[in-house]
Amino acid sequence: MKIAILGAGFGGMAAAYDLARASHEVTLYEAADFVGGLASGFKEPGWDWSVEKFYHHWFASDRHMLGLIEELGLQEEVLFPRPYTVLLHKDRWYPFDSIPRALAFPGLGWGVNKVRFGLVGLYLRLTNNWRALEKVTADAWMRRWAGPKVYQKMWEPLLIGKFGPYYKDVNMAWMWARLKARTTRLGTYQGGFQAFADQFAEILRGMGVTILLQTPVTRLERDPERGAIHLETAAGPATCDRALVTLSPEVTARLVPSLPDDYLRGLRNLKSMGAVVMILSLKHQLSEQGYYWFNLPKDAGYPCLALVEHTNYVSPEHFGGDHIVYMGDYLDPGHEYFRLGQEELLEKFQPVLKRFNPLFEPGWVKKTWLFRTNYAQPVPLLNHSQNIPPIQTPVEGLYFASMSQVYPWDRGTNFAVEIGRRAARLMLEH
């Protein structure tokens, strides 16, 4: 079969791998001039490693991604350092990424709240019944079982940060999956995620996959007479027997207007958040305690959800001695951060850097980069499992696999690989 895959992110590339192994003729159409999609990175002169445009790491539980890397024979390139995630309490940061650290955290006191926090954490780790949890919002479940104090201190800021206006509507299965999958050690790849994406693309090319960069697909339609799928692309028209779309539901609905109304409505009803991330390269280390991930409570006056000092996770030696800091947030695409220029955003973000290191001065900033995406984080509402569009669409030969169908797990490159390979399996079976 001649197969077209739209999008050379990890979902599209994983599908291409399995389809090419089954001896099909695969073409990957990619709008950007690089592979890797949302997990791609960039490299400055003098850097040995690339930096992901949006902070990225793997969990030790990411078996689909780690399994694929092993199949490709690249497992020696994966590293699992032990960085520190911290939480604020009364103007001090406390490590909070393991059970002993959580028990030592003073923000919950020493009485009943800590016990409730521990019991809720234990229950969520042990249960597998996420279907019961998707019927209730995380807000209602956590208030009831963890109690208002634990919820307000621990979980409400996370939900507000990730889901903004939808935070009270997100279902509890999302929270369950998030707590279940997390590990203390976080993984990355020698050279950064872009190095892996490039090596994977080279392997695919070696298997005969054609990767067309800077070639967005603008329309996709089935030609019932010829029994083929017709694509309009920046490189001209093309046909194939089967197509897999790995783009956002919104873009997919635009590309394939001939999808039946029901399916289109399903795509359009899916909600998601965008993301805005500024990267700063600094002359000096910001967190001298060596903390990697700061969860920032907005009610304490922080202008974004997270500050991530990448070079407290991987060494600044890989970046010519530069210290790399991300400041990021998940936001509705209507938020002003999507309109402001880079300088204006820097003016909002920079003043808080002194709160992480009183010695910080604007002169420390060597360079900044700004990355934004409208499609960063799907929002799973109540009973989301019933609203997920099937991978096999009603248009014969057309398949759709996106972050919005990853569930109950939180989206990530691990699940992009899983859903990409699941889509390939379906395409081979039918």
CA-CA distance, 74 to 200, in Å (whole number)? 9
Residues ≥6 apart with Cβ < 8 Å to 40:
32, 34, 52, 53, 193, 194, 197
In the complex, what is the shortest distance from the CB of residue 356 to ligand FAD, in angstroms, rounded to a whole number?
20
Binding site for ligand FAD (CB under 6 A): 6-12, 29-32, 37-39, 54-58, 216-217, 246-247, 251, 275, 277, 328, 373, 376, 402-403, 411-414, 416
Residues ≥6 apart with Cβ < 8 Å to 299:
157
Q: Which residue is nearest to ligand FAD (CB)?
A: 37
Place of tokens 């070639």: 215
In the complex, what is the shortest distance from the CB of residue 402 to ligand FAD, in angstroms, rounded to a whole number?
6
Which is closer to ligand FAD, CB of 8 or CB of 150? 8
Which is closer to ligand FAD, CB of 56 or CB of 421? 56
Closest C-alpha to 395, from 230, 209, 232:
230
Structure-token pair, residue 85: 């995630």
In the complex, what is the shortest distance from the CB of residue 169 to ligand FAD, in angstroms, rounded to a whole number?
20
Cβ atoms of residues 264 and 253 within 8 Å: yes
CA-CA distance, 285 to 229, in Å (whole number)? 53
In the complex, what is the shortest distance from the CB of residue 146 to ligand FAD, in angstroms, rounded to a whole number?
25
Closest C-alpha to 372, from 406, 311, 328:
328
In the complex, what is the shortest distance from the CB of residue 341 to ligand FAD, in angstroms, rounded to a whole number?
20
3-state secondary structure of 156: helix
Which is closer to ligand FAD, CB of 212 or CB of 228? 212
In the complex, what is the shortest distance from the CB of residue 40 to ligand FAD, in angstroms, rounded to a whole number?
7
Residues ≥6 apart with Cβ < 8 Å to 128:
none
Which is closer to ligand FAD, CB of 108 or CB of 251? 251
Which is closer to ligand FAD, CB of 54 or CB of 364? 54
In the complex, what is the shortest distance from the CB of residue 83 to ligand FAD, in angstroms, rounded to a whole number?
12
Which is closer to ligand FAD, CB of 34 or CB of 145? 34
Which is closer to ligand FAD, CB of 10 or CB of 263? 10
Closest C-alpha to 99, from 112, 114, 111:
114
